[in-house]
Amino acid sequence: MGYTMHSDLKLAVPIEYPEEQRPSHVQKLERPQPLVKASRLAFLRFGKPDLDQCRNFWSDFGLRVVESTPMRLCMGTADGSPVAIVATKSAKPRFLGAAFEVDADVDWQDLLRRTAGRALGSDELPGGGSGIECIDPEGFAVWLIAPQARVDVKPVREAVPANGNTFHHANRINATVRTPIEPATVGRLGHYVLQTPRFAEMAQWYMSHLGLIPSDVQYLPDGSPLLAFFRLDKGGTPVDHHTVVIASGLKADYEHSAYEVADLDALGQGQQVMRAAGHEHFWGIGRHVLGSQLFDYWSDHDKHQFEHYTDGDVFTADRPTHYVPFAPGSIWAWGDDAPREIFPQKSLGMLWRAIQLVRRRVYSLDKLKAMAAATDQPARPWL
Contact residues for Fe ion (CB under 5 A)? 258, 307
Q: Give the shortest CB-342-to-Fe ion separation in angstroms.
A: 11
Q: Which is nearer to Fe ion, 115 or 305 (CB)?
A: 305
Q: Which is nearer to Fe ion, 51 or 258 (CB)?
A: 258
Q: Which is nearer to Fe ion, 164 or 268 (CB)?
A: 268
Question: How far from 104 is each of 37, 135, 137, 190, 268, CA to CA, in Å?
Answer: 11, 21, 26, 21, 39
Angle at 330 between CA 262 and CA 317, to 5 degrees: 60
Q: In angstroms, rounded to a whole number, what is the distance separating the alpha carbons of residues 229 and 258?
A: 13
Q: Which is nearer to Fe ion, 260 or 307 (CB)?
A: 307
Q: Give the shortest CB-40-to-Fe ion separation in angstroms.
A: 17
- The residue number with the shortest CB distance to Fe ion is 258
| CA Rg value for the chain | 21
Q: Which is nearer to Fe ion, 206 or 363 (CB)?
A: 206
Q: Give the shortest CB-59-to-Fe ion separation in angstroms.
A: 21
DSSP alpha helix (H) spans, the chain? 51-61, 108-115, 199-210, 264-276, 348-359, 365-376
CA atoms within 13 A on the CB side of 100: 25
Q: Which is nearer to Fe ion, 51 or 244 (CB)?
A: 244
DSSP alpha helix (H) spans, 19-167? 51-61, 108-115
Across-strand partners of 144?
100, 132
Encode burial over 41-56: b for 16+ CB neighbours within 10 A, e otherwise.
Answer: bbbbbbebeebeebbb
Q: Give the shortest CB-284-to-Fe ion separation in angstroms.
A: 11
DSSP 3-state of 200: helix
Q: Give the shortest CB-361-to-Fe ion separation in angstroms.
A: 31
Q: In angstroms, rounded to a whole number, what is the distance separating the alpha carbons of residues 75 and 64?
A: 5
Q: Which is nearer to Fe ion, 291 or 344 (CB)?
A: 291
Q: Give the shortest CB-71-to-Fe ion separation in angstroms.
A: 29
Q: In angstroms, rounded to a whole number, what is the distance separating the alpha carbons of residues 81 and 153?
A: 9
Q: Give the shortest CB-229-to-Fe ion separation in angstroms.
A: 9
